[in-house]
Amino acid sequence: MIVVKNISKRFNMHNAVDNISFTVGQGENVVFLGTSGSGKTTLLKMINRLIEPDCGEILIDGRSIVDQRPEHLRRGIGYVFQNNGLFPHYTIEENIAIVPRLLGWNRDRIAPRVISLMEKLRLPPAQYLNAYPNELSGGQQQRVGIARALAADPPVLLMDEPFGALDPITRASVKKDFKELDELRSKTIILVTHDVQEAFELADRIFLMDGGRIIQEGKPEDMFDRPATQYVKDFFEGQRYIFDHFKNSQH
């Protein structure tokens, strides 16, 4: 369970994150939705201490994140970047194995783990194990990025616009395989996006952000049925069709 209490972050007199509090339950998938500059990425990076908040507190499973060394904290949290952030000088195998190696797993444990993840993410190991990231397409690179984040089986997964840099067809395909991963059951996932459709697809609960604050939180349908402000109403205006489409296709 992740508990965030009253955190704020200022950059150059500008409130990137302004006194935000929320709780994410064990195994829950939440999506922070907002336009660029709404503070959602800053919020995400504060959870694994890539950015330190000016004030406030974050607890993971009851333990404050500042009570442990940042590198130890991060090895227990998967992180997926919009632009994959793969190491260009590492093979695909080495890229996926980064966190297990940092955790000191032995080779006999790492090798099968890497192969199993590659298979689940439809990256044929025989072909790609020893390839370098620049030999892969954008969609394949993002699959490696997801595999890397999941390699050490962390209980928490943070995803920063993970499908944002992909073209629509690739995005749909990567997203589909991602959603089907058995790995994700029981994982607490916090994903940030500006894509309303993605939020509807992946979220148990949506937090709509603007100007560093949470404007409204709730289940996807709450956003339509009970918009808290005019901003929320405007944000979802015209998205009703997409929402209905998902509701119908899911039920």
Length of the chain: 251
- Is residue 42 at the binding interface for another protein, with CB under 8 A as the rule? no
Q: Are 4 and 60 in contact (CB under 8 A)?
A: no
The token duo for 28 is: 């829950």
Q: Quick one: 94 or 210, whose CB is closer to another protein?
A: 94
Tell which one of 86, 92, 110, 117 touches another protein (CB under 8 A). Answer: 86
Find the part of the chain contacting another protein (CB under 8 A) among 97-105, 119-127, 226-234, 239-247.
97-105
Tell which one of 6, 35, 64, 83 touches another protein (CB under 8 A). Answer: 83
Tell which one of 32, 79, 178, 236 touches another protein (CB under 8 A). Answer: 79
Task: Please state, in angstroms and as integers, the Cα–Cα distance from residue 61 to each residue in 2, 64, 65, 74, 206, following that order.
Answer: 6, 8, 10, 14, 21
- Is residue 124 at the binding interface for another protein, with CB under 8 A as the rule? no
**Can you say whether residue 80 is alpha, beta or left, with left for phi > 0 and alpha for psi between -120 and 50 degrees?**
beta
Phi, psi of 52 (to 5 degrees): -95, 130
- Is residue 72 at the binding interface for another protein, with CB under 8 A as the rule? yes
Tell which one of 9, 40, 143, 148 touches another protein (CB under 8 A). Answer: 148
The token duo for 42 is: 């800053």
Radius of gyration of the chain (CA): 18
Measured torsion, CA atoms of residues 117, 179, 131, 156, in degrees rounded to the nearest 10: -60
- Is residue 167 at the binding interface for another protein, with CB under 8 A as the rule? no
Give the number of other CB atoms < 10 A from CB of residue 6.
Answer: 11
Q: Smallest distance, Å, CB 41 to another protein? A: 11
Find the part of the chain contacting another protein (CB under 8 A) among 18-26, 34-42, 84-92, 110-118.
84-92
Give the number of other CB atoms < 10 A from CB of residue 189.
Answer: 20
Q: Smallest distance, Å, CB 78 to another protein? A: 9
- Is residue 88 at the binding interface for another protein, with CB under 8 A as the rule? yes
Binding positions for another protein, 174-213, rule CB under 8 A: none
The token duo for 136 is: 């892969």
- Is residue 89 at the binding interface for another protein, with CB under 8 A as the rule? yes
Q: Quick one: 157 or 232, whose CB is closer to another protein?
A: 157
Q: Are 211 and 40 in contact (CB under 8 A)?
A: no
- Is residue 74 at the binding interface for another protein, with CB under 8 A as the rule? yes
Find the part of the chain contacting another protein (CB under 8 A) among 16-24, 55-63, 70-78, 230-238.
70-78
**Interface ranges with another protein (CB under 8 A):** 48, 50, 70-76, 79, 81, 83-89, 98-99, 102, 148
